[in-house]
Amino acid sequence: MKLLRYIWAFPITLIGLIMAALALATRGRMQRVQGVLEVHGGLTTWLLQHAVPLKGGALALTLGHVVLGQTPDALARCRDHEHVHVRQAERWGLFFLPAYFFSSLLAWSRGQDPYYDNVFEKEAYATTRLP
């Protein structure tokens, strides 16, 4: 069953693996934690700080079974939250990213916050506590 979850989430994970390769090529680092590849530093840090449409950027971001983080500390602080997103990617597979963006668009169209009112973020925040 675990193998099927990895296969189902692989289209999203592939994007994360490409990002991981770019991070490693720019002096980033990686580690495996609980079956998830965690990547930090290099281009990853810059992208999370400047390319994520949140005020101040993001400490971490999940793409399938890859979690991108600014630093090792950011990964540790966000691990439980990001692992909720890993499980969501396992459930939704290649539909995860479109569903995530649609949820943000729907929240925005209702005058809500596209991040905090996204159903995927609500689930992650409801099941974890970020310090």
pLDDT along the chain (131 residues), means of 10: 94 97 97 97 96 91 98 96 97 97 98 97 88 58
Give me the residue spans of the domains in the chain: 2-93
Conformational region of residue 60, where left means phi above 0, alpha means psi within -120 to 50, and beta covers everything else: beta
The pLDDT, as a whole number, for residue 53 is: 87
Among 118, 78, 117, CA closest to 100: 118
pLDDT at 131: 58
131 in helix, strand or coil?
Answer: coil
Q: What is the pLDDT of residue 63?
A: 98
pLDDT of residue 120: 98
Per-residue model confidence (pLDDT) at position 128: 79
pLDDT at residue 42 in the model: 95
* 5 vs 131: CA distance, rounded Å: 29
Q: Report the alpha-carbon distance of residue 110 to residue 119 in Å, rounded.
A: 13
Helix (H, G, I), strand (E, B) or coil at 40: strand
